[in-house]
Structure 1
Amino acid sequence: MSLPIEIEDLNVFYGDFRAVDGVSMTIAPNSVTALIGPSGCGKSTFLRTLNRMHEVIPGAYAEGTVKIDGQNIYGPGVDPVNVRRRVGMVFQKPNPFPTMSIAENVLAGVKLNNKRVSRAEADQIVEVSLRGANLWEEVKNRLNKPGGGLSGGQQQRLCIARTIAVKPEVVLMDEPASALDPISTLAIEDLIGELKKDYTIVIVTHNMQQAARVSDKTGFFNIAGTGTPGKLIEYDDTNTIFNSPANKQTEDYVSGRFG
């Protein structure tokens, strides 16, 4: 089930350094939200706060609220591990476990969550997840072969299958196609369009055309200079951001005048 995300006055710190300053936005369920902006503007850091992944870095913490289906994931007593079960993440570089088979890769998250499944249930999870990642037909006859033996685009879709196998409600993607060729990139973009039927999706991308193609809403992040925090400059429907943005900084960025 896809869920809404409400972010209010979110500040992210690495020790004494404020990396992201005062972000507020509401992300609708069953939608794709793209985060764009120059390198170092805090968009990937912000993305990681949505499932508390930034906390794996020593000294990192956040202030403000991130509510998923009304529950503040930074509230007292909230377990970050449970948050990450609900909010899955796909990283920039495909990272299948090289010593595991394709099927074992899909089931890795399920087993990590200490969920016991029968052989029949496992087979079903593998097929449903690979179908959900548009990979089943390509690998159904070699499920016991190493996941690392797939092409780059297939590996990334395998990682997406691994993510959705645990049935999250939100899927975060940090530049999921930046290391892929154009054909594999198109496959990932098509997949994102399919996945939003079941999930809330937030994607970081440096590819302006990709943001315009796949997202319903776009948030533009920027920094005033080196050493300053990233800020959300503008957040609106993707068509508005790319065709009639309200902020001059946004217009300059999407038109290629800087960044």
Structure 2
Amino acid sequence: MGKRIDVQDLNVYYGDFKAVEDVTMTVEPRSVTAFIGPSGCGKSTFLRTLNRMHEVIPGGRVEGKVLLDDQDLYANGVDPVGVRRTVGMVFQRPNPFPTMSIGDNVTAGLRLNGMKNKKELTERTERALRGANLWEEVKDRLDKPGAGLSGGQQQRLCIARAIAVQPQVLLMDEPCSALDPISTLAIEDLVHELKEDYTIVIVTHNMQQAARVSDKTAFFNLAATGKPGRLVEMDDTTTIFNNPKVKATEDYISGRFG
């Protein structure tokens, strides 16, 4: 599990507006890559292109290539639903399905894909919850509403839901922004464990978090309001934080702007 992502000359649009311009990068398999940069520079927009969520937005379109182990996700005939099964996503705010139990939240994607075998569903539920470090906390109340969990538990439930369908890549869009410090630490510890099996890309505004959890860091910026976001620099996280090649990267990390 865990696939390599190669992005080539990617431009992202909302209608006629170019939101992200000319991004080329490689995300290594079974690693954590952090996207950092000021608000409005296209980090989350670009993240959504990696599993074709961007085109769900009216007017959203992409030019360029996103290769997952050499398969172009935007090639003719590629099923976007299949892409989203392979490249899972965890959003900024925990979003468990409010009318579903904890167990049903985990298996929602499996059932949608046609899995009906109760024994297999039960096994996959436990495996996913263990993978999200949540099993011991919820194993005796799987029939209780997922929305009744704490914020940090809800986010781990959403991670369990994402990994239950066994994706190859896990995208995380500011997964800790709505959480308290203790829950944030739990998610960060989980990210470290998950990268043994998954390729992980995380958008974060928290510089310390990027430094703690990621192997590579990509810095995005924009020339001015209304201009497209661009990838300024990408390197090993220690290099980006200690010896960046571009002055704008150093200025952002040191808090001079952003």
Q: TM-score, normalised by structure 2?
A: 0.99
Asked if structure 1 preserves the Cα contact closer than 8 Å seen for 2:94 and 2:151, the reply is yes
**Matching residue's letter, 1:247:** V
Fraction of identical pairs, as percent: 72
**Matching residue's letter, 1:130:** L
Deviations 1:50-74 (A, max 9, x none): 0010111111100000000110001
**Matching residue's letter, 1:240:** T
CA distance in 1, matches of 2:65, 2:38: 25
2:143 is aligned to 144
CA distance in 2, matches of 1:232, 1:111: 38
Give the number of aligned pairs: 258
SS of the aligned residue for 1:52 comes to coil
Deviations 1:95-148 (A, max 9, x none): 0011100000000011122x2231111110110000000000000010000000
CA distance in 1, matches of 2:158, 2:24: 30
**Matching residue's letter, 1:256:** G
Asked if structure 1 preserves the Cα contact closer than 8 Å seen for 2:215 and 2:237, the reply is yes
CA distance in 2, matches of 1:163, 1:116: 15
Structure 1's unaligned 5+ residue stretches are: none
Asked if structure 1 preserves the Cα contact closer than 8 Å seen for 2:31 and 2:195, the reply is yes
2:217 is aligned to 218
Asked if structure 1 preserves the Cα contact closer than 8 Å seen for 2:115 and 2:121, the reply is no
2:43 is aligned to 43
CA distance in 1, matches of 2:44, 2:91: 10
The 4+ residue runs of structure 1 with deviation greater than 2 A are none
1:256 is aligned to 255
1:240 maps onto 2:217 in alignment:
no
CA distance in 2, matches of 1:107, 1:245: 43
CA distance in 1, matches of 2:124, 2:77: 31
SS of the aligned residue for 1:23 comes to strand
Deviations 1:74-93 (A, max 9, x none): 11111111100100000000
CA distance in 2, matches of 1:240, 1:152: 33
**Matching residue's letter, 1:243:** N
Q: How does 1:167-182 map to 2 (within 5 A)?
A: 167-182=166-181
SS of the aligned residue for 1:191 comes to helix
CA distance in 2, matches of 1:191, 1:198: 12
CA distance in 2, matches of 1:239, 1:134: 28
SS of the aligned residue for 1:206 comes to coil
Q: How does 1:78-89 map to 2 (within 5 A)?
A: 78-89=78-89
1:70 is aligned to 70
2:33 is aligned to 33
Structure 2's unaligned 5+ residue stretches are: none
Asked if structure 1 preserves the Cα contact closer than 8 Å seen for 2:22 and 2:230, the reply is yes
Asked if structure 1 preserves the Cα contact closer than 8 Å seen for 2:30 and 2:197, the reply is yes
SS of the aligned residue for 1:38 comes to coil
**Matching residue's letter, 2:220:** F
Q: How does 1:111-130 map to 2 (within 5 A)?
A: 111-113=111-113, 115-130=114-129
Q: TM-score, normalised by structure 1?
A: 0.99
Asked if structure 1 preserves the Cα contact closer than 8 Å seen for 2:96 and 2:157, the reply is yes
SS of the aligned residue for 2:29 comes to coil
**Matching residue's letter, 2:193:** E
SS of the aligned residue for 2:239 comes to helix
1:56 is aligned to 56
CA distance in 1, matches of 2:217, 2:116: 39
